Amino acid sequence: MQSILRETGRSLGVAQETLFGFNIEWITDTPLAVSSERLANPTFLGPANPQSGLPEPWRKVMQFQGGATFELQEGQNLIGGPAQRVHVYDFTATGGGAGLVQPGCWVREGETLRAVLWARCQGEPVELRLGFRFRGLPGPTYGSATVKVDASHFKRYEVEFPISASDDNCQFFCHLTGNGIVYFDRVSVRPVDQPLHRADTLEAIRELQPGDIRFPGGCVASNYHWFRGVGREELRHDDKDATFFWDLCYTWGTDEYLDLCRQVGARPHITINISTGTPTEAGEWAAYCAKWYRARDFEPPEMVWQIGNEHSGPHEVGHMSGPMYAEALKEYVPAIRANYPRPIIASLCLGNEWVRDIFAAGSGNLVDLFCAHYYACRYDVNPQREGLAFVGDAADFAANLDSLAATVRECGGAQRVGVTEWGAFRGETHNDARFYEPHTPLTTLFVTAMLNHFCRRAAVMSLGNNYSLINTMPAIVGRGAHVVRTAIHQLFRFWRPLFPSEVFEIEQDGPTFVAPQSTSDPAPWDWRDPSDRATLPVLDVLAGRSAEGDWLLLTNRHPEEDMTVTLPERFHGGRLETLLPAEDGEHFLWPPQVEAAGERVVVPACGHVKVRG
């Protein structure tokens, strides 16, 4: 296959780095991938297992162990919630060790860990021995320390201990060394040199250079109360998310989020709770963020404040009509503007009628950015057809974006548009708390198509946030000891250094295909088969000019055949980088191959080429 490129010189606008943003959905196991905390459920969020008396993932040393009882008692922790009670009444019957165990942990040789406990005894002081050891009954201890709980009121205890070996699947233990009763409000363990964020995750995020990070996410924001995640550590307790019934983390909150954005250079973006929250709560959150920056001698930066999430849908806590949302804007936006100096107010409109409702109610001038969500959902027994069907979805979404921007203009507005969630569902379900969606070089053709569509709409679009950054349908997977960069991470890392850039129209003479419909039909399929969907170029081309010079991005959407591309003359002899699919079928080869470009370049099937002039 061959394609010839021609430049027209027509500018499409300046594509900003904020088109390359991400969501953080602050639920399930995402906090353990971002925070430096080594223990899951450090605040003993219930319910407890009725047999063990312990909440997940906490365990006894042995489930059938005698001499001790375990009970998650309501009303006993520092904020009136449940505390974990451990009562060893016959130490000899326990076999020499009774207390808490958490399997599935990890440690690294040479690190020093700091354990922080909020605990109290009942009647008499209690000595605890805690640390990490091999996961089996026999085996070595990698590091431990002792703590004497000597007060009947909750008190903070802190110990440090070095780790002697690396283990990706060890267990944490916290044992009483004799008879006694102890109540645990929380048990937390972090590396002494990583007080907030997990260092390997932070490095992977920095590689992406995200322009915008949205927190605490989408639907979870309708149940998130920011004040529970700030202030003294002992008053931050996790809770349940009322939308998906996943765990909702407050032990890492606004302070840590703003610090993360500052460290990776991302614009902060907060989704306001307009369901179970109030305008007063939103205004206080805005004031807290402004104060946070000033306390560190920073001027508060531009910050996106999104008014709610998908409230047009009945799945959302706080489902409402368009006119109701327009009235909510009148209450929430002034509270934010009065308390934060540089807000960008974003609305979420899942349909053009909501835009019309907002303007009709006189609320249009309250909004700086009209945003939408776009998700493609496909199941297909043929992976090649599935990949090209996703490309067709991206074209449909681009047309919807054009319609959204046109509706804003039709209503008399001059605001830009954005996308605060976009992604692709293949086999994932909200019923799976891991919420992991694996991708292949074929299905990530959707990712590159969406990024290119965003950039071509730079004149009207200024925000694009992928769903999501970590663990839930992710760019980065951080489960256990290792941080994995997915194919989405690799593509963003390949695209992102070119921006901000002015984007230019470019034409081509080359083959096309008709976007297929996905199906479970196992019959043979050919990529040239007709359908009722859009006709699209096999070669996806984006052209631009950054501060470092001119560039081209070329994506060959054909699942099997290479594409020979004739370049404009000024790109002859330029730097050529090629991103090739890896043999594992889930990643690309990294780093990209680098060579000099000739008059023509070959773009491999499902591959990507970057040419710098």
Q: Does the pLDDT value for residue 434 go beyond 80?
A: no
d(CA 163, CA 143): 5
Is residue 601 pLDDT above 80, yes or no? Answer: yes
CA–CA separation, 302 vs 510, rounded Å? Answer: 43
Cis amide prior to 103 (ω within 30 degrees): no
Q: What is the pLDDT of residue 27?
A: 85
Cβ within 8 Å of residue 283, ≥6 positions away: 335, 336, 338, 339
The pLDDT confidence band at residue 147, using thresholds 50, 70 and 90, is very high
**Residue 432 pLDDT level (bands cut at 50, 70, 90):** low
Asked whether the predicted pLDDT for residue 437 surpasses 90, the reply is: no
Per-residue pLDDT for 435 more than 80? no
Q: Is 58 helix (H, G, I), strand (E, B) or coil?
A: coil
DSSP bridge partners of 126: 149
User: Do residues 299 and 289 make contact, with C-beta atoms less than 8 angstroms apart?
Assistant: no
With tokens 């960069």, the residue in question is 485
pLDDT in tens, 187-235: 999 999 999 999 999 999 999 999 999 999 999 999 999 999 999 999 9
Q: What's the number of CA atoms in the CB half-sphere (13 Å) around residue 183?
A: 20
Residue 567 one-letter amino acid: L
pLDDT for the residue 523: 83
Q: Are strands 593-596 and 575-579 parallel, antiparallel or unpaired?
A: antiparallel
pLDDT bracket for residue 430 (50, 70, 90)? low
Q: Which architecture, in CATH terms, is 2-10+506-612?
A: Sandwich (2.60)
pLDDT value for 521:
83
Question: DSSP for 17-49?
Answer: GGGSEEE---BTTHHHHHBS--SSSTT--SPBP
Tell me the CA distances in angstroms from 118 to 150, 405, 599, one per residue in order. Answer: 12, 53, 68
**Given 3-state DSSP classes, what are the helix, strand and coil percentages for the chain, each rounded to the nearest 5?**
25, 35, 40
Report the SS3 class of residue 494: helix
Query: What's the pLDDT at 532?
Result: 82
H or E segment to which residue 393 belongs: helix 383-410
Task: Give the DSSP letter string of 320-374.
Answer: --HHHHHHHHHHHHHHHHTT-SSEEEEEE-SSHHHHHHHHHTT-GGG-SEEEEEE
CATH level 3 topology of 13-36+196-496: TIM Barrel (3.20.20)
pLDDT for the residue numbered 389: 94
Question: Are the CB atoms for 426 and 382 separated by under 8 Å?
Answer: no
* CA nearest neighbour of 86 among 59, 68, 101, 113: 68
**Which residues of the chain are in CATH 2.60.120.260 domains?**
68-191
Structure-token pair, residue 576? 């050529």
If you write DSSP's letter for every residue of 403-435 in order, what string do you get?
A: HHHHHHHHTT---EEEEEEEEEESS--TTSTT-
Tally Cβ neighbours within 10 Å of residue 592: 18
H or E element, residue 270:
strand 267-272
Q: What is the CATH number of domain 68-191?
A: 2.60.120.260
pLDDT bin (cut points 50, 70, 90) of residue 431 is low
- In the chain, CATH 2.60.40.1180 sits at 2-10+506-612
Peptide bond into 216 cis (omega under 30): yes
Question: How many C-beta atoms surround the C-beta of residue 403 within 10 A?
Answer: 16
**Predicted confidence (pLDDT) per residue in 58-84, tens digit:** 999 877 778 999 999 999 999 999 999
Mean pLDDT of the chain: 95
Mean pLDDT lowest among 2-11, 517-526, 566-575: 517-526
Task: Report how far apart, in Å, the C-alpha atoms of 456 and of each of 12, 15, 369, 401, 462 are.
Answer: 6, 8, 18, 11, 11
| Distance separating alpha carbons of residues 226 and 484, to the nearest angstrom | 29
Biggest distance spanned by C-alpha atoms of the chain: 85
pLDDT greater than 90 at residue 5: yes
The predicted model gives 283-305 an average pLDDT of: 98
Q: Are 263 and 271 in contact (CB under 8 A)?
A: no
User: DSSP label at 493?
Assistant: H
Q: What are the residue ranges of CATH 3.20.20.80 in the chain?
A: 13-36+196-496
Please, which pLDDT band fits residue 242 given cuts at 50, 70 and 90?
confident
Alpha helices in 196-265 (DSSP H): 199-208, 254-264
Cβ(76)–Cβ(50) under 8 Å? no
Confidence bin at 477 (pLDDT 50/70/90): very high
Token pair in block for residue 429: 């379900």
Confidence of residue 518 (pLDDT cuts 50, 70, 90): confident
Sequence-ordered list of residues with C-beta below 8 angstroms from that of 314, at least 6 positions apart, any chain? none
CA atoms in the 13 A half-sphere facing the CB of 385 = 20
DSSP state of 221: G
Phi, psi (rounded to 5 degrees) for 133: -145, 175
What's the average model confidence in pLDDT over 413-442? 84
What mean pLDDT do residues 274-291 have? Answer: 98
The DSSP call for residue 381 is S
DSSP code, position 301: P
